[in-house]
Amino acid sequence: MKLANLSILFSLRSLTPVVLAAISLVSQTQAQMGHVLESVGPVNQSMGGAATAMPLDGMSAIQWNPASISGLSGSEIGFAFTVIAPNTDLSSSVDAGAFGSFGPGAPLSGTSESQTDISPMPSFGFIHKSDDSPWTFGLGGSAIAGFGVDYAASSFDPDNTNPILTPQPGTGNGYGFSALYSSFQMLQISPVASYQISPKWSVAIAPNFNWTSLGVSPWPATTPNADQTYPSGAHADARWGLGISAGAYWEDCCSGWKFGVSYKSTQWIDHYNINTMDENGFPRLIRFDMDYPAILSLGLGYSGIEHWDFAWDVRMIDYANTDGFEVSGYDQFGAVRGFGWNSILTTSLGAQCQLTDRLRWRVGYTFNESPIGGDVAFFNAVSPAIVKHHLSTGISIDFDERWSMALAYTHGFSNDLTGPWQGPQGPIPGTSVTHSLSTHFASFGLQASF
């Protein structure tokens, strides 16, 4: 093995534990395609997440189509760091007498801004490819999903009372949830083996190992306490899960056309067990099931124009058949049954231009349906995943034949969603809740080829 290759592998052994430790520090995020992140790393981010048939780096190839790692030019190792800055607002209004004899005596309305901090998300990818073997191997790890809000409780201010954030009704002092907090994180690590069965076709399969953490306060997905208040679920529970990814990749080097298809199964997460307490301070244990949805991806790529690469992906994210998301409303004991999300279609377009021998520029666009309808807006105060349009751009700079750096930025355009408050008997007349969300993503990455 060449000395340069030895130095790269030594760097991998030295840095991988550090990167894994950094990934474990990922904080709450607002994801884009529902709670699914649309991209992994700056290269994929600047292409709008399109990668199923356009393998430009190992991180995104492992995430969106494990078979496409066979289409990479050679072995590589890459590390990336992404920060997300969401702008999240929650507004609500209640007409006078909307709750009958419980009031309120006058109309209430207000808007609150989530105090969610900027969230870091590291990721990495390692690819080993040999010219004299049909096998290509990879290892990737990254944050792939998340949501989070942090709303302060609302006081009864004549100029700005946000009724959904007033104290819980069981306290006798309000109508809402009081302060709202949520944090969901999901990290996925995938070892990949791709096999080139012909000069044009490759197939692959990859097990997915998932680490997640979930905390919500107050926790409405449980039977209320005896005083009719929901307990806190802020003591987050971390759980592991398993799934599998499979894909196929086709490339015609003569024409420049590429095709990819992949399927990421439901990621089955162990039951969350949240330690909390009742109104008297005695222990309670809350149990909740929430998996990661199955994703079917189709992609086209084209590299038949000199200096240009084009990618187009279409995905179906199956929230409607996923535990935790498939149902909504209250059960007979007053517990919220789930988020009530719809399955969604997404599409991503990306283009890359080789501007000079050392500089590549990329631009991407993503559209996704919102999984949340107005009828379940009330149940999703802790998870307002409603952004639909995302525009991205980025560059890669080659320092030499081995090392390169990538930068990217994505803006998720503001979107609003409004619906009525929901009670056990259905929508409550004279009430409304509105979510507003926009996002900013910035990424930095380093990649070495060997």
Q: Which of 410, 354, 296 is nearest to 56 (CA)?
A: 354
Please state which of the ranges 28-32, 252-256, 313-317, 362-366 shows the lowest mean pLDDT. 28-32
Tokens linked to 281: 């301070």
Q: What CA–CA distance (Å, rounded) separates 437 from 109?
A: 19
CATH of the domain at 34: 2.40.160.60
pLDDT at 30: 54
DSSP letter assigned to residue 379: G
Domain that includes residue 169, residue range: 3-449
Span 336-352, average pLDDT: 96
pLDDT over 70, % of the chain: 93
Residue 448, CB half-sphere, CA atoms under 13 Å: how many?
12
For 318-327, give one letter per residue: b (16+ CB within 10 A) or e.
Answer: bbeebbbbbe
Span 204-215, average pLDDT: 97
Span 116-130, average pLDDT: 90
**Structure confidence by residue, pLDDT tens digits, 268-304:** 999 999 999 999 999 999 999 999 999 999 999 999 9
Tokens linked to 272: 């969350």
CB contact set of 165 (below 8 Å; sequence gap of 6+): 90, 92, 110, 112, 151, 152, 153, 154, 176, 177, 178, 179, 180
**Structure confidence by residue, pLDDT tens digits, 39-53:** 999 999 999 999 999
Model pTM score: 0.91
How confident is residue 36, by pLDDT bands cut at 50, 70 and 90? very high
Cα 35–chain centre separation:
4
* Sign of the torsion formed by the C-alpha atoms of 214, 83, 406 and 296: positive
**377 and 418 Cβ atoms separated by less than 8 Å:** yes
The answer, yes or no, to whether residue 12 has pLDDT greater than 60, is no
CA distance from start to end of the chain: 11
Count of structural domains, the chain: 1
Q: What CA–CA distance (Å, rounded) separates 415 from 407?
A: 26
For 155-170, give one letter per residue: b (16+ CB within 10 A) or e.
Answer: eeeeeebbbbbbbbbe
For 218-253, list the strands marked E by DSSP.
Answer: 233-251
The answer, yes or no, to whether residue 18 has pLDDT greater than 70, is no
Span 358-381, average pLDDT: 96
Round the average pLDDT of the chain to a whole number and report it.
91
Q: What CA–CA distance (Å, rounded) separates 274 from 272?
A: 6
pLDDT at 101: 87
pLDDT at 79: 96
Tokens linked to 258: 């590429």
